[in-house]
Amino acid sequence: MLELIQIAVRNLALHRRRTLMLGGAMTGVTALLLFLLGLSNGVQSTLLQSATTLMSGHVNVAGFYKVTRGQSSPVVTHYPKLLELIQREVPELASVSQRGRGTAKVISDSSSMPVALNGLDIEAEPTFRQIIRTAEGSIDDLARPGTILLFESQAKKLEVKVGDMLTLTGETVRGSTNTQDVRVVAIARDVGLLSSFNVFVPNATLRALYQLHDDATGALLIYLKRIEDAPAVQQRLRQALASARYELLDEETQPYWQKLELVTHDDWTGQRLDVTTWKVEIAFATWTSDILNVLSLGLMFVLIVIIAVGLMNTLWISIRERTQEVGTLRAIGMQRSRVVLMFALEAFVLSVLGTGIGAVLGTVICALLNAVQVPVPYSVQLFLMEDRLRLLVDVESALISMAVITACTTAIALIPSFLAARLKPITAIHHVG
């Protein structure tokens, strides 16, 4: 085996131009593939961080409350008791945030817009500060009642700045309209689609608007030590809640704001709970990363086909040039399997070197782009959930890229290798040109 590897390295060194051409193509393909994987991973990571901070936990226990059959509100009553059950049944728990939920209209002196209203206790949510970057004001001021955080696009539409007053108007649980004056204390940078309709107020302000008791909230957002445990925790919680005689909604793959409309038409009153995972709550936004994954796989397939055709032709030319060498090796006793292995090793060594350099190059390019913090247009921000291009390359992605390209090119090289092994020694020795 060592001798065959030495022969493969020698032949690659003798045909430097051919080696550089094929190796350069493999390097470029690997670097491009790694860039696309880095972009896809970056979008998925950013989307997950943003979505599980702004509107969903890893697992969510939300509530729907109906005073009459034709009206519903996103409310969980007596949530401290429910919180105790969660802490008891979920040992994988990292933290729990209680969020108020509702829909309202925000009115300024010059404009108005409908929004999804989110109530939170900012002092209990350190992750929120890490994801949300302020352009004006301070997030810490959300600790005061009667305040609101907007995003840049919203502030621009409402024509307001930090310190201006707004009016919130919404419908209470019993169907009456109520208003609440709030002061803008922070304007955050946009984070894509999620920042186009979400605004944040203190829980006390949300309860005052909807006339809720202090032990009422909209949902309990559960954050786990390992996000992979979310489906198992969801099923366990559904069983525990059912055993504790809580009424549950049927399990459906729809976010809460779609269920709110459906629940309104259901024929029941009182309180019902819904247990979902983050995948259900942000399913409407994950298509971006799915499209990037499909594009990456499609482009990888096309590029590998191109590389494979070039490699086959090059190896076939190499075999024709080395026909006499093959004949001599066969004549002195080299078996056909060894001839196949010799040419396959040549393709394997070339692939390993080319993809290795390409992986390093792709990683360096991604790191440089992250350091430069390339800004993206607002239209692209809606889907990337970030105002800067973010690429995330891990060791696993690099190794997978190298392994796939190396395996494909080595497998393709077996075709001309088998043809070389079938040459009769006497015919090959007397071959000219």
Q: What is the per-residue pLDDT across 7-50, written as a single tens digit (0 to 9) for each?
A: 667 777 777 787 788 788 888 888 888 888 888 788 778 777 87
72-116 pLDDT tens trace: 899 999 999 999 999 999 999 999 999 999 999 999 999 999 999
pLDDT value of residue 379: 66
Q: Is the pLDDT of residue 292 over 70?
A: no
- Whether the pLDDT of residue 403 is over 80: the answer is yes
Given a contact cutoff of 8 angstroms between Cβ atoms, the answer to whether 342 and 428 are in contact is: no
Two tokens, residue 404: 């796939």
In this structure, are 276 and 293 located in the same domain?
Answer: no
In angstroms, the CA 93 to CA 95 distance is 6
Are 306 and 216 contained in the same domain? no
- Say yes or no: 199 and 260 in one domain: yes
Domain boundary among 281, 298, 326: 281
Q: Which residues of 325-351 are buried (b: 16+ CB within 10 A; e: fewer)?
A: ebbebbeeebeeeebbbbbbbbbbbbb
Phi-psi region for residue 248, left (φ > 0), alpha (ψ -120 to 50) or beta? beta
What is the spatial distance between Cα 177 and Cα 337, in angstroms, rounded to a whole number? 83
Instruction: Clarify whether residues 110 and 256 are in a common domain.
Output: yes
Lowest mean pLDDT among 158-172, 244-258, 331-345, 353-367: 331-345
Distance between alpha carbon 220 and the CA centroid of its chain, in Å? 23
- Look up the domain containing 389 and give its range: 2-50+285-429
Q: Does residue 15 sit in the same domain as residue 153?
A: no
> What sign for the dihedral angle of Cα 152, 156, 160, 166?
negative
Q: How confident is the model at residue 433 (pLDDT cuts 50, 70, 90)?
A: very low
Q: Is the pLDDT score of 233 beyond 90?
A: yes
Sign of CA dihedral 127, 130, 136, 137: positive
Are residues 239 and 293 located together in one domain of the fold?
no
Same domain, 40 and 88: no
Task: Give residue 252's pLDDT.
Answer: 82
Whether residue 202 is found in the same domain as residue 98: yes
Which SS3 state, helix, strand or coil, does residue 179 take? strand
Do residue 35 and residue 169 come from a single domain?
A: no
What is the rounded average pLDDT of the residues 282-287?
Answer: 70
pLDDT of residue 285: 66
- Over pLDDT 90: what percentage of the chain? 39
User: How many Å apart are CA 66 and CA 19, to the nearest integer?
Assistant: 72
41 with 29, same domain? yes
Q: Last residue of a domain, which of 281, 316, 341? A: 281
Q: Which of 309, 299, 403 is nearest to 351 (CA)?
A: 403
Between these two residues, 169 and 14, which has the higher pLDDT value? Answer: 169
Mean pLDDT of the chain: 84
Q: Which of 281, 309, 327 is the last residue of a domain?
A: 281
Is the same domain home to 125 and 33? no
Give the mean model confidence (pLDDT) for residues 295-305.
75
Amino acid at the residue 382 = L
Report how many domains make up the chain.
2
- pLDDT at 432 (0 to 100): 47
State the CB neighbour count (10 A cutoff) for residue 363.
20
Q: How far is CA 337 from CA 58, 340, 343, 420, in A?
A: 54, 5, 10, 10
Regarding whether 274 and 203 lie in a shared domain, the answer is yes
More confident residue, 68 or 418: 68
Counting residues of the chain whose pLDDT is more than 70, the rounded percentage is 85
Q: Which residues of 220-248 are buried (b: 16+ CB within 10 A; e: fewer)?
A: bbbbbeebebbeebbebbbebbeeeebee
